[in-house]
Amino acid sequence: MSGFTGTTRLVRLALRRDRITLPAWILGMAAFLAATTAMFEDNYSKHPQLLEPDTRIVTDNPGMRVLGLVTGSSVGGYTMHRDAMTLAVLAAVMSILAVVRHTRQAEELGREEMLGAGVVGRYASLAAAVTVALVANLVLAVLLGLGMVVAGQPAAGSLVAGTSIALVGVAFTGVAAVTSQLASTTRSAIGLAGAGLGVAFMLAALGNMLGTVDSAALRITSAWPAWLSPIGWGQQMRPFADNLWWPLGPAVLVLAALFWLAVVLVGRRDVGRGMWPERRGAAHASPVLLSPAGLVWRLQRGTLLGWAIGLFGFGLIFGALSDQIGGLEGAATEWYATFGGHADLLGAYLASMMQMAGMAVAIYVVTLLLRLHHDEAHGTLESVLGTAVSRLRWLGAYAVNALAGAMLLILVFAVAMGITGGQVLGGTAALVHDLVIAALVQLPAVGVLGAAVVTVIMLLPRWSVGLSWALVVGSIIVGPMFGPSLGLPTWLLDLSPFTQVPNAPAVAVTSGPILGLGLACLLLAATSVVALRRRNLALPA
């Protein structure tokens, strides 16, 4: 029996387990790219003379280059500048979660030991996990390309665009394969791979910011840091311009090298253990751990810190761009008008940035609240409720941490944006004050979405993960960032809690929407409490 015996059967098993998760990731990203491509195609078909000026706005702004690489004046190229970085990060996250789920998590839950008792080679689970991730990225590349073709873009550029996104997922498939061998827990494996993704993001962004602009101000040549990042490799394929395929080579080589390294590490460690030894805990527990809220805080503080650093950095960048908003022309002014009108373009820009931050914070909140389902499904909750902790106290611990974390993150972004914005505009204290108010206004919408997710977890625990992320994506797509540009009907736009938030500081804050969102949050929270008290726990067999 070889070390890869049983790989094919484990691939089928992994595909069976991921029959909902992976299609949801892939179809969601493909639908997002197709929708935004159609949006830009519609905008610039009506105003073709604005495409080059809008492209020059990006090339002239080093801060805006963080979002992606500018490769020329075309609808497809402009769309990739706006969407490529987001989709690349999502493809990497999809690949990381898929590999870790079928390797480190399988060991942590004892499944790998059961599989190893059969006719299964030592490296079969690793090979199966990598194969599933590669298949997912291949399908993703095809569907992303088809989505852009359907939206009216050239087939050659669309295929290169889809491949440039999947390239990042391929590279991080190898990264996750290695971190799953180094770390001894699922959380640590994902955290290490996520840290690598953060470094890749910063290198690509830095390379684009430091890049040189051609004489027509329509094309950026990246600086050397971009070539150290898989995200940078994908951008260097330059879809809808040069349509280069050779940057795919480094990603394949990295995957092969990292897979080889992971195979070596598998053969040198015990099942269930990582290569890095587990850190010894303190001899005495902190008083904070004596409460459920303190325990939740201890488990998620590292994640919260990572989010805070990221939002602080983006706040500094977007604040520094504030003085350049007054000179915008073309489609950009029409888009910002939805947040405050042409009379206050700067206020509309600030409001749109706070909306983006609110949506990002909502994603953090949902990620934290889904730990409720994880605790229940993996048996952790049973031990907690075996003590003096009640169900409501357990739920309240997560709610308190979600609220506190959301408030911290949105304020960090607002203060960072106010600091740099005040430096370029003047009146730092007043700008920080206005942005803090605009930030706090976002919390009711975040609370509604969080309460809706908790209600789904309590009513439909089996389907809660997929439904929760569907709520998040749906709220963002039909919200003020994309809904009006996609021409969605008003009644559908109003279903997103973010649509109900006053667009401060572009418009005055009124109490009606805030009270309405607060009431909706309370009703959903009450529903979830009743459901939790009346149903049996979905504990593992």
Does 311 have pLDDT greater than 90?
no
Residue among 390, 507, 369, 383 nearest 448 (CA): 369
pLDDT at 444: 93
Contact 331, 44 (CB under 8 A): yes
- Per-residue pLDDT, 454: 92
Confidence of residue 272 (pLDDT cuts 50, 70, 90): low
Identify the burial level of 388 via C-beta atoms within 10 angstroms of its C-beta, where 0-12 means exposed, 13-18 middle and 19 or more buried: exposed
Intra-chain end-to-end CA distance of the chain, in Å:
32
In angstroms, the CA 67 to CA 71 distance is: 13
Confidence of residue 484 (pLDDT cuts 50, 70, 90): confident
pTM here? 0.79
pLDDT digits (tens, 9 = 90+) for 188-220: 888 888 888 888 888 888 888 778 877 776 778
Annotated domain spans of the chain: 1-276, 286-463+502-535
- pLDDT tier at 460 (50, 70, 90 boundaries)? confident
Helices 21-46 and 331-340 meet at what angle, rounded to 10? 110
DSSP calls for 265-305: HHTTS-TT--SSPPPPPPSS--GGGGSHHHHHHHHHHHHHH
Q: Is 221 left (phi over 0), alpha (psi -120 to 50) or beta?
A: beta
Average pLDDT, the chain: 84
Residue predicted with more confidence, 539 or 228: 228
Report the pLDDT value the prediction gives residue 143, as an integer from 0 to 100.
Answer: 95
Q: What is the pLDDT of residue 98?
A: 92
3-class DSSP state of 541: coil
By C-alpha distance, which of 193, 384, 211, 182 is closest to 290? 384
Nearest to 498 by CA among 463, 484, 508, 487: 484
Bridge-based pairing of strands 212-213 and 220-221 is antiparallel
- Tell me the two tokens of residue 392: 């409501």
pLDDT at residue 474 above 70? yes
Per DSSP, the chain holds a count of helices (H) and strands (E) of: 21, 2
pLDDT tier for residue 177 given thresholds of 50, 70 and 90: very high
**pLDDT value, residue 287:** 78
Is 49 a residue whose pLDDT tops 80? no
Using CA atoms, how far residue 338 sits from 5, 37, 125, 248, 410, in Å, is 58, 19, 50, 39, 22
3-state secondary structure of 212: strand
Ranking 165-174, 332-341, 379-388 by mean pLDDT, the lowest is 332-341
Q: Cβ-count burial of 102 within 10 angstroms (0-12 exposed, 13-18 middle, 19+ buried)?
A: buried
For a pLDDT cut of 90, what percent of the chain falls above it? Answer: 25
pLDDT at 539 over 70: no
Mean pLDDT of 177-184: 89
Could you read off the pLDDT of 235-251 as tens digits, one per residue? 999 998 888 899 888 88
Asked whether the beta carbons of 75 and 51 are under 8 A apart, the reply is yes
Residue 277 exposed, middle or buried by CB count within 10 Å (0-12, 13-18, 19+): exposed
Of the two residues 205 and 414, the one the predictor is more confident about is 414
Tokens of 231: 């995200």
Cα–Cα distance measured from residue 176 to residue 103, given in angstroms and rounded to the nearest whole number: 9
pLDDT digits (tens, 9 = 90+) for 353-384: 888 889 889 989 998 998 888 888 777 777 77
Average pLDDT over residues 278-284: 71
With a cut of 60, say whether residue 341 has pLDDT above it: no
Q: For residue 362, what pLDDT is reported?
A: 92
Check residues 68 and 292 and name the one with the higher pLDDT: 292
pLDDT value, residue 361: 92
Mean pLDDT of 55-71: 71
CA pair distance 351, 17, nearest whole angstrom? 42
Which has more confidence, 268 or 333? Answer: 268
Confidence of residue 501 (pLDDT cuts 50, 70, 90): confident
Question: What's residue 172's pLDDT?
Answer: 94
Q: Which SS3 state, helix, strand or coil, does residue 388 take?
A: coil
What local confidence, expressed as pLDDT, does residue 174 receive?
A: 93
CB 444, CB 518: distance < 8 Å: yes
Select from 157, 156, 196, 143 the least CA-distant residue to 173.
196
pLDDT for res 405: 93
Q: Is the pLDDT of residue 117 over 70?
A: no
With cut-offs at 50, 70 and 90, classify the pLDDT of residue 41: confident
Q: Which pLDDT belongs to residue 116? A: 66
pLDDT at 64 (0 to 100) = 66
C-alpha torsion angle, residues 341, 345, 350, 352 (rounded to 10): 50
Q: What is the mean pLDDT of residues 260-278?
A: 79
Tokens of 291: 């409460």
Q: What is the pLDDT of residues 397-407, one digit of tens each?
A: 999 999 999 99
C-beta of residue 186 within 8 angstroms of C-beta of residue 374? no
Burial label for 286, CB within 10 Å (0-12, 13-18, 19+), is exposed
